[in-house]
Amino acid sequence: MRIVFATGNQDKMREIREILSDLDMEIVSMEEAGVYMDVNESGTSFSENAQIKATVIAQELQDRNQQAGTIVMADDSGLEVDYLHKEPGIYSARYLGKDTSYTEKNNTIIERLHGVPDEKRTARFVCAIAAVMPDGTILSTNESMEGQIGYEISGQNGFGYDPIFFLPEFGKTAAELSEEEKNRISHRGKALRAIEKMIREHLV
């Protein structure tokens, strides 16, 4: 049994392999499985987009007769900033343009919250994960991590919006957490552990 995860992001793949290591399955990215395609994420929620991605990749593998013994997983995740009416939301990766650096994206969000007090800087990371099982069953889960938008970019450990996502209970940003700390509390960590449990129950 193997897992094909619909991402080309190696930072994300490292997190996924770390958290799902107990499943004792080979975990590969879609590119490593020989699938090179851009899936049109036309959903209106994180959950819909994750299911669209997983289903399209599973169908592609099935068309190639490579779906047997394979669980296809996909996630859609992003940042919701309450003061910005939950922007960037499902457009997090494409916010300000797909090729815009995260330094620029992060600085823009900080600028848009200029003068906004702590209590109105609430935000969350959301992660939805869908898994298409070898028998065609679709499992899905949705988890989040609450925090607030910081006043400056801080930290080297994370990626994406981590350097501006401040966690009051830790007194630091998501990019200042160790990998172990982040995996324990992050939206993706929670969602991966939830989907792992669902996969185990389904395979019994």
Residues belonging to the active site: 76
Q: Is residue 133 within 8 Å of residue 140, measured between CB atoms?
A: no
Give the CA count within 13 Å in the CB-facing half-sphere of 176.
Answer: 16
Q: Strand 122-132 relative to strand 172-173: parallel, antiparallel, unpaired?
A: unpaired
What is the rounded CA–CA span in Å between residue 166 and residue 163? 8
For 93, residues 6+ apart whose C-beta sits below 8 A from its C-beta are: 78
